[in-house]
Chain A
Amino acid sequence: MAWKDERTTMVVKTTKEVIKKPQKRRGLSLTVNGRVHDLKVGTEPDQVDPAHTLAHTLRETLGLTGTKVSCDHGACGCCTVLMDGKAILSCMTLTVECDGKQITTIEGLGDPKTGKMDPLQQAFIDHTAFQCGFCTPGAIMSAKALLHENPSPTEEEVKEGLSGNFCRCISQYHVVKAVLAASKEVR
């Protein structure tokens, strides 16, 4: 449910109470790549419309265009981001459901202090694990979640973990090698 958060809950007992009680802020707090964003709910360009997906908010409202939208239908995995460490499809998630969540996108994968890339990103470069590169952010985020849950996956487990990621150039073979290499490095 989108509106369970107490700050936005409008289900109150009497009309009187609604008038009396100063209305709480209609908004939500989203932590993206370690940075807190307090967002208002509404239809203005800088606000979160209740119909907005997380992918839309990340790309259009926060300007984080590294997250890609391809099918916009939960089938291709291009829009994968991490929510509290788990891979989710940001095109199938309403932003208003994400209050208080920690989101990590492809832009937030590197070390913010040193600017160094995540070992997964480096492994994707070292193994040329992309061709057109459009599905790459989603593939890296899925792989990140996989390695978080299973730091030493087998080849089969890597394939299973990425089975929701569409790649049309057929870079999958190189992606599997890159993820396995990154898992060895992290170990």
Chain B
Amino acid sequence: MANSYRYIGKATPRRDAVDIVTGGARFLNDIKMLNMLHGKVLRSPHAHALIKRIDKSKALQLQGVEAVLTWEDVPDWKGGTPRYTRILDRKVRYVGDAVALVAATTEEIAKEALHLIDVEYEVLPAVLEMEEALRPDAPQLYDEFPGNVVTPGFPFFGPKSLKEVVMGDTDKGFREADVIAEGTFAYENIPNPLPPEPPGAIALWEEPNKLTLRVSNQASYMDKITLFHVTGKKVEVRSIGGPCGGSFGSKFMSWQVQCYAALLSRATGKPVKLIFTKEEHLAVFTMRPASRMNARVGMKKDGTVTAISGTWLIDTGYYSMTTQSQVAVGCGEVQIAVRCPNWDLKPVIVCTNRNASGIVRGYGGQELKCILIPILSVAMEKLGIDPFEFLKKNFVKPGDGYFWRDGIWYTYRGVDFSKAMDQGAELFGWKEKWMGWLKPTAVNGAKRRGVGVGVHGNADIGEDASEAYVRLHPDGTAMLFSCVTEHGTGQRSNYIKMVAEVLQIPLENVSVTPSDSLINPYEFGPAGSRGTYAIGSAVIAAAEDARRKLLELIAPMLQADPGDLETVDGVIFVKGHPEKKIPWRAMSIDRTVTGYGRFEPDYTLTNCMMSFVEVEVDTETGKVTLLRVVNATDAGQIIDPPGLEGQMNGCLGSGGIDSALFEETILDRSSGHILNANLIDYKWRTFSELPPIDNVVLETPIPSHRFHAVGVGEVATSPGPVAVLMAVSNAIGLWLHEYPATPDRVLKALGKVPAESRKGGVA
């Protein structure tokens, strides 16, 4: 759609483009500080054990070693929700749990010192399976979590924090249903979002309680907040972000690596850099929560859902920092995707002795939909309902509502996404390709094709608060103060566009401050899809406030009312009288004008992404090939076309579509070891395997901010996995119940190899 904007909707180079293509972008590990030490972590080889004794004397004798810290040496800093997970503990709860921290003059010496630490463990029985962890005789991970069930609710979301979806009368709903389907589906291959840049931190401690952190995070201001709480509100933290080499949610919670570096700096008085290896990244940093659900759904012939009841088990690994939050958001998102008056959906978050789950793009909703839509599909199959028509009919419409993460009911006031869905279906050729449930689209010898569709929407586009300042200078330039970090979405450049659009000045006349918590106001960061609406609103408001103040200042000089003034390219003039003009420098060279903007959370809008996929299954080898993807959305107004396209293409990676095809973290459930913690054994899509992707983006003005846009970036990964499972099931004519659809699973479903469980063994 053509618009009259000067920058919004136009492709403009990213502000950091030259730095990125010339190697000038300074990522965390590119930073060196004077006298900087290197940190390393000694990790537990046991899934569950008590530390009986640690002898660090030999390690301390090694030349170059400046500190060795164990649980006995560190303050009582704790993370988790509630905060029960000590930064170093006497008990280790998974293979890879931190046992000791070392700081040395070089990384090599620090590594060598790890081998010189002598640890005596008392090995405890471990539990690596959710249902086993819930048994009365199961090993207990924490005294505070009896039965290994994590305390439900997320305090940050308020006293009514959403813990479940319970409303209406499910008994009545099931009585009204034409068909009832029941089943158990699981999405528990715990894919890793796996950004190329590993997690890390550089810390400088200054006595008595000042901590400066260099971070790699999409939300650098939040590191200050998180660490403040983790340290018992005793430490004054300054967090400085820079270019972030990918996060996909995961680095939002980097408190452990940051604390390790902070404790080592506190012990040595020197700056300490601690960067995880890729093996640590895969084996000890957070991954997607595992989900399994037994549910019952009632459906009418016309696709109306009458009741949903079930127990949603979520494996959070050895602790939870945000899983309750993911469950709350997932419970909200499922109501956006599936209209149903009667719910009894009960989540149970379980601790097991594996690496922790944490934030990943899709944030609870992807996990829940990946297991609920297949059960709804079983009902659709019985009634012969087309899943595209079902998902379109049941996605939230203006006037519908949902309980959001804070437990409060919101009425949706956005647009109807049906038009975007229809255009996606048309481009994909859904009508021609859909042959009915468990029916292939085409058969060519041993090769069978199938299609599937999924949908996702998230009201997080207006979640949490943002603040920004915009400062105007007499030379006609403006500076945006925002603690937004660039993590790949191009949002820092997009905010420059927004400021330039409001102020009508050249893009190059707008700069943005480093994402340093010392100089910038509060910013939750570009989490979820909140970048465009939530952060954008604060930025726009700050620019408008600055503009208003400037015009008020200048108005008397032009003997005009501020409302009659306009400013373009650093010149203020009277509307309709361009000759009555005065440049910004009239504000005086010893003055700046600063505007302030704030966004208050708004959960009455949601975004939407529908993904269509076509796969080909080789029934001889079991190999599934993704042939095509079509994504459809309505973004209200595109801010940056190539940036948006990149985000939507991101549907494949970071634990998205490929988590239904081949991506999985393989956990040996007898020992607790992760078997594929490297980039050779952890499978990822290469350039030569790229399927065609088409992205349909409508621009129906959405009542958000002055540019009528909403963010859609995060949700690109979410509709695809369930669509793949559906497409493979349709291709082979049998329901697949687990992800990913690896050749062995496909061949087992086809009865071509014995169907023994993969649990407990090496894959």
Contacts and interface: CB of A to CB of B under 8 A. Distances in A.
Contacts of A173: 645, 649, 690, 693
A107 B649 contact: no
Nearest to A138: B196
B244 interface: yes
Contacts of B22: 66, 106-107, 109-110, 117, 121
A99 B489 CA distance: 41
A164 B302 CA distance: 49
B684 interface: yes
A62 interface: no
B488 A71 contact: no
Nearest to B193: A168
Interface string A50-77: 0100000001000011111111110110
A40 interface: no
Contacts of A156: 688
B521 interface: no
B276 to A, nearest CB: 11
Interface in B653-694: 653-654, 678-680, 684, 686-688, 690, 693
Contacts of B17: 124-125, 128, 130
A132 interface: yes
A140 interface: yes
B743 interface: no
A51 B108 contact: yes
Contacts of A164: 686
Nearest to A66: B23
B679 A166 contact: yes
Contact of A67 (B23, B246, B688): B23
Given A49-B108, A125-B21, A169 B646 contact: yes
Contacts of B23: 64-67, 105-107, 137
Interface string A119-152: 0011011111011111111001000000000000
Interface residues of B, number: 57
Interface in B713-733: none
A114 B686 CA distance: 36
A140 B248 CA distance: 23
A132 B488 contact: yes
B687 A162 contact: yes
Nearest to A141: B23
A169 B488 contact: yes
A32 to B, nearest CB: 12
Given A49-B108, A67-B23, A132-B246, A163 B687 contact: yes
B20 A130 contact: yes
A71 B678 contact: yes
B139 interface: no
Given A128-B643, A134-B197, A168-B248, A75 B688 contact: no
A140 B23 CA distance: 10
B183 interface: no
Interface string A78-112: 10000000000000000000000000011101100
Contacts of A133: 16, 20, 25, 243, 245, 488
B278 interface: yes
B246 A168 contact: yes
Contacts of A159: 687-688, 690
Contacts of B195: 132, 134, 168
B61 to A, nearest CB: 18
Contacts of B365: none
Interface string B233-270: 00000000001111110000000000000000000000
Given A168-B654, A173-B693, A121 B646 contact: no
B241 to A, nearest CB: 13
Nearest to A127: B642
Given A168-B246, A171-B646, A66 B24 contact: yes
B229 to A, nearest CB: 28
A134 B687 contact: no
Nearest to B245: A134
Contacts of A171: 646, 649
Nearest to B243: A133
B663 to A, nearest CB: 11
A182 B679 CA distance: 29
A72 B679 CA distance: 9
Given A134-B246, A173-B649, A168 B196 contact: yes
Nearest to B195: A168
B26 A70 contact: no
Contacts of A140: 21
B13 A125 contact: yes
Contacts of A128: 11, 13-14, 17, 490, 642-643, 646
A176 B692 CA distance: 13
B244 A132 contact: yes
A165 B689 CA distance: 12
B690 A169 contact: no
B650 interface: yes
B9 to A, nearest CB: 15
B456 to A, nearest CB: 17
A169 B650 contact: yes
A173 B18 CA distance: 20
Interface centre among B193, B197, B247, B645, by most chain A C-beta atoms within 10 angstroms, is B197
B487 interface: yes
Given A68-B196, A133-B20, A137-B23, A172 B679 contact: no
A67 B247 CA distance: 20
Interface centre among B13, B18, B25, by most chain A C-beta atoms within 10 angstroms, is B25
A71 B646 contact: no
B30 interface: yes
Contact of A134 (B27, B278, B645, B678): B27
A58 B277 CA distance: 18
B151 interface: no
A17 interface: no
A2 interface: no
A168 B16 CA distance: 19
A69 B684 contact: no
6 contacts: A71-B278, A107-B22, A133-B245, A137-B21, A168-B196, A168-B246
Report, nearest first, the 3 A-B pairs whose CB atoms are least far apart.
A66-B23, A134-B245, A132-B488
Interface of B: 11, 13-14, 16-18, 20-27, 29-30, 106, 108, 193-198, 243-248, 277-278, 486-490, 642-643, 645-647, 649-654, 678-680, 684, 686-688, 690, 693
Given A64-B23, A131-B646, A163-B687, 8 more contacts: A68-B196, A71-B278, A73-B278, A107-B23, A121-B21, A132-B246, A164-B686, A175-B687
